[in-house]
Amino acid sequence: MRRKALSVSAAVLALGLTAACGGGSGSSQSQSSTGPIKVWLSNNPEEIAWGKAMVKEWNAKHADQKVTAQEIPAGKTSEEVIGAAITAGNAPCLVFNTSPAAVPQFEKQGGLVPLDSFAGAKQYIESRSGGSADQYTSPDGKFYQIPWKQNPVMIFYNKDLFKKAGLDPSKPQLATYDQFLAASKKIVAGKAASSAIAPAPTSEFFQSWFDFYPLYAAESGGKQTVENKKATFNDAAGKDVWNFWAQMYKKGYAPQEAYSGDAFADKKAAMAVVGPWAISVYKGKVNWGVVPVPTKDGMPASQVHTFTDAKNIGLYSACKNQKTAWNVMKFATSKEQDGKLLETTGQMPIRKNLASTYSSYFASHPEYKTFADQASRTVEVPNVPNSVQIWQAIRDSYSSAVIFGKTPVDESIAKAASKADDLAGQS
């Protein structure tokens, strides 16, 4: 009996192994097909409100091409859920929350449709987003995402805590690293808050977008971390940024331990690195002001670059009715819908001449005007192979040298750059 059980198990194993060895078969989607489609929306209330209203408007005019919208299913991150859906073949037609950093991976998986294959798509994207669109082209020169909206990150500060620390809340001196350090010292020494600023000191690959990268974009005058398949950040600007943050941690102005809430909202930190989405979140909770991210020697606000924190729209290859999906993409990124997105969420459509296009909105919402100005000087994550691995390599070295001070900055940044060179050069 035992021998037989073993034989049966072996047969099942062999069957499994045989099945495992089989590859997938190719299939092509008709790009001229129209009909009902499904879309996924981000799971924050404002974006859901905008998305549902947009879908309602579309459905009212296109009864035969009904769009069904739902939130991205729960998961550790949206990217993991989308990646799994691509592999399972049940990704929706459109995801209104496609991270630019994940696009190279989704593209490699065969999960995204190159939008250039639709007539006039390239011109549409470039005319809507202007020069910013270049940052979203893939190495093969095609668009696998439509640049949609961004949250240019800046420094939020708590005016009440600044006042308590003896700092002028109407003219905060935060333009240079020295000024930033001096202000931080006053905040912590004066016990206005336990930390001056509390970027997440955790190891997730994307955390560098909210400490290192915005300051590097500013200090370098708008460089990406990888350009022409080579890491750029092992330069004077990169080292200055790492050394600046290393001092913030070493002097105890930024905590090494993660705070399990929102340190800025809870007044545990007097500053935060956030985008315009935060305006509605902190409304009524924090008496805030906003300034551009600091640079070593300071520069006029009109020249400071920062990180986009953008989310885009991807058209996924599992989609049966791709023509409808493309038309919905255009509808959702029209001037009218972009205006509604801005009004509902406060996030900035990646559209050229944003401030002048929606001048009446910014006139009535002056708190958003600063972000609109900043939106014209933003830097996206590089669209290169192994993007997530590169960011993880940067994060690991940064954690070691900057957050925990275990290794010298020069050595760690060189190590991260060397790894980024290797990874960016691979296909």
Give the nearest distance from C-beta 111 to other proteins in angstroms: 5
Give the nearest distance from C-beta 17 to other proteins in angstroms: 5
Give the nearest distance from C-beta 200 to other proteins in angstroms: 8
CB of 17 or CB of 60, closer to other proteins: 17
CB of 140 or CB of 257, closer to other proteins: 257
According to DSSP, the β-strands at 288-291 and 154-158 are: antiparallel
Integer Cα distance of 73 and 7 in angstroms: 41
Q: Which residues contact 304 (CB under 8 A, 6 or more apart)?
A: 218, 292, 293, 295, 374, 377
Positions touching other proteins (CB under 8 A) are 1, 4-5, 8-9, 12-13, 15-17, 19-21, 23-27, 77, 79-80, 83, 86-89, 91, 105, 108-111, 200-205, 255-258, 260, 317-318, 386, 388-389, 392, 396, 399-400, 403-404, 406
Neighbours of 415 (CB within 10 A): 18
Q: Which residues of 186-225 are buried (b: 16+ CB within 10 A; e: fewer)?
A: bbbeeebbbbbbbbbbeeebbbbbbbbbbbbbbbbeebbb
CB of 236 or CB of 258, closer to other proteins: 258
CB of 89 or CB of 120, closer to other proteins: 89
Give the nearest distance from C-beta 104 to other proteins in angstroms: 9
CB of 21 or CB of 60, closer to other proteins: 21
Contact in structure between 173 and 179 (CB atoms under 8 Å): yes
Give the nearest distance from C-beta 6 to other proteins in angstroms: 11
CB of 5 or CB of 60, closer to other proteins: 5
Element (H or E) spanning 85, and its range? Answer: helix 78-88
Give the nearest distance from C-beta 248 to other proteins in angstroms: 15
Give the nearest distance from C-beta 381 to other proteins in angstroms: 14
DSSP one-letter code for 297: S
Please report, as a single letter, which amino acid is at residue 3: R
CB of 148 or CB of 206, closer to other proteins: 206
Integer Cα distance of 209 and 229 in angstroms: 19
Integer Cα distance of 78 and 57 in angstroms: 26
